[in-house]
Amino acid sequence: MPSPTIPDEDCIADFVMRQKTRRKYPGACSLMYQSLINILVESLFQWDIEKQKSKGVGIFGTTVAFAPADEEQGRKTLHQHIQLWVKEFDSKFRNSLFDPDIDVRTRARAQLQDYVDKVMSASYGTQLLVPGPNNSDVEAEKLLEDASSQVLRDARHEELNKDIGGCVLKKKGANVKAATTDLANYTLKSLKNQAIQSTSGIYDKHFVTNMPPMPERLDIAAYTHSYHMLGGSNELYDDVWGNEDLRQLALNLRYNVHEHTHRKSCFKKGTECRFLFPFPSCSSTYIHEDRGPKGENDVLWHSLFHNPRRIAPWMVIPKRPVGCQYINVHNDTLTNVLNCNTNVQIGDPFHTYYTTLYNLKSTQEEDSERVRRVSQTIIRRLLRIQDEERNGLLDESYSDSDFVEGLCRMLGGMNAATSRHTLSSTMAHLLISQKGTRFKFSHNFSDLLIGQLEAQLEGEPVDFRLRVNRHKKKRHVWRDSLADDYLHRPEENGIENMCSYEMCMKYKKKYLSFKQMNVLETNNNDLDDDDGDDVDDCNDDEYDDTEDTYYFNNGTSISNGIRHPFKNSHPGYKFSHLIELEHEAIPKISLPEGKLCSVEDLRLGINIDNEEDQVYKSREDYAKMALLMFYPFRTLSDLTLDNSYWKKFEYELSLHNTNQTTTFWPKGFDILQNMQDRRTMEKELKRARDPVSLETNCKKTSTKKGESNPDSDSANIPDVSEIAAVYE
Q: Within 10 Å of residue 597's Cβ, how many Cβ atoms? A: 18
Q: How far apart are CA 450 and CA 464, in angstroms?
A: 14
Cα dihedral 531→534→535→538 (10° resolution): 150
Q: How confident is the model at residue 207 (pLDDT cuts 50, 70, 90)?
A: low
> What average pLDDT does range 112-125 have in this prediction?
94
User: Which pLDDT score is estimated for 550?
Assistant: 29
pLDDT tens sequence across 353-388: 666 666 555 555 655 666 666 677 777 777 777 777
Residue 477 scores a pLDDT above 70: yes
Alpha helices in 391-480 (DSSP H): 401-418, 425-433, 450-457
> What average pLDDT does range 503-521 have in this prediction?
79
Based on its alpha-carbon atoms, the radius of gyration of the chain, rounded to whole angstroms, reads 32
Name the average pLDDT for the chain.
80
Residue 498 scores a pLDDT above 70: yes
Spatial contact of 182 and 204, defined as CB atoms under 8 Å apart: no
Q: How far apart are CA 484 and CA 502, in angstroms?
A: 16
Q: 30: which DSSP letter?
A: H
Coil, strand or helix at 301: strand
Between 512 and 171, name the one with better pLDDT.
Answer: 171
For CA atoms 194, 197, 200, 203, the dihedral sign is: positive
pLDDT tens sequence across 638-663: 999 999 999 999 999 999 999 999 99
Least reliable range by pLDDT among 67-76, 321-330, 571-580, 620-629: 67-76
Between 117 and 471, name the one with better pLDDT.
Answer: 117
Residue 342 scores a pLDDT above 70: yes
Residue 223 scores a pLDDT above 80: yes
What are the CA-CA distances from residue 724 to residues 373, 388, 398, 490, 717 (Å)? Answer: 16, 19, 21, 76, 15
User: Which pLDDT score is estimated for 208?
Assistant: 64
User: Which pLDDT score is estimated for 183?
Assistant: 94
Q: How far apart are CA 54 and CA 58, in angstroms?
A: 9
Q: How far apart are CA 236 and CA 238, in angstroms?
A: 6
> What average pLDDT does range 106-112 have in this prediction?
94
User: Which pLDDT score is estimated for 36?
Assistant: 74
> What average pLDDT does range 233-242 have in this prediction?
84
Coil, strand or helix at 114: helix
User: Which pLDDT score is estimated for 402?
Assistant: 64
Least reliable range by pLDDT among 63-72, 146-155, 417-426, 532-541: 532-541
User: Which pLDDT score is estimated for 416?
Assistant: 63
Least reliable range by pLDDT among 167-171, 327-331, 415-419: 415-419
Q: How far apart are CA 416 and CA 47, in angstroms?
A: 44
pLDDT tens sequence across 253-266: 999 999 999 998 89
Residue 51 scores a pLDDT above 90: no
Spatial contact of 33 and 430, defined as CB atoms under 8 Å apart: yes
Spatial contact of 165 and 157, defined as CB atoms under 8 Å apart: no
Residue 551 scores a pLDDT above 80: no
Q: Which of 71, 89, 69, 67 is nearest to 442 (CA)?
A: 67
User: Which pLDDT score is estimated for 364?
Assistant: 57
User: Which pLDDT score is estimated for 708?
Assistant: 42
Helix then strand then coil, % of the chain, to nearest 5: 40, 15, 45
* Beta-ladder partners of 565: 577
Least reliable range by pLDDT among 190-194, 305-309, 537-541: 537-541
Query: Would you say the pTM of this structure is higher than 0.85?
Result: no
Q: How confident is the model at residue 553 (pLDDT cuts 50, 70, 90)?
A: very low
Percentage of residues in the chain having pLDDT higher than 70: 75
- Write the Ramachandran bin of 291: left for phi over 0, alpha for psi from -120 to 50, otherwise beta: alpha
Residue 534 scores a pLDDT above 50: no
Q: Which of 255, 415, 471 is nearest to 342 (CA)?
A: 255
> What average pLDDT does range 561-579 have in this prediction?
87
pLDDT tens sequence across 130-183: 998 888 899 999 999 999 999 999 999 999 999 999 999 999 988 889 999 999
> What average pLDDT does range 268-284 have in this prediction?
93
Residue 128 scores a pLDDT above 80: yes
Q: Identify residue 162 by its one-letter amino acid code.
A: K
Q: Identify residue 562 by its one-letter amino acid code.
A: I
317 CB-contact burial (10 Å; exposed 0-12 / middle 13-18 / buried 19+): buried
Q: How confident is the model at residue 715 (pLDDT cuts 50, 70, 90)?
A: very low
Spatial contact of 682 and 598, defined as CB atoms under 8 Å apart: no
User: Which pLDDT score is estimated for 518?
Assistant: 66
User: Which pLDDT score is estimated for 481?
Assistant: 93
Spatial contact of 327 and 256, defined as CB atoms under 8 Å apart: yes
User: Which pLDDT score is estimated for 101?
Assistant: 94
Spatial contact of 539 and 468, defined as CB atoms under 8 Å apart: yes
User: Which pLDDT score is estimated for 414?
Assistant: 65
Q: Tell me, rounded to whole angstroms, the distance of Cα 719 from its chain centroid.
A: 40
Spatial contact of 404 and 381, defined as CB atoms under 8 Å apart: no
Q: 711: which DSSP letter?
A: G
> What average pLDDT does range 175-199 have in this prediction?
89
Least reliable range by pLDDT among 147-156, 322-331, 491-500, 696-705: 696-705
Residue 344 scores a pLDDT above 50: yes
Between 724 and 443, name the one with better pLDDT.
Answer: 443
Q: How confident is the model at residue 295 (pLDDT cuts 50, 70, 90)?
A: confident
> What average pLDDT does range 392-398 have in this prediction?
66
User: Which pLDDT score is estimated for 14?
Assistant: 41
Q: How far apart are CA 430 and CA 71, in angstroms?
A: 10
Q: How confident is the model at residue 476 (pLDDT cuts 50, 70, 90)?
A: confident
Q: How far apart are CA 511 and CA 421, in angstroms?
A: 37
User: Which pLDDT score is estimated for 673?
Assistant: 93
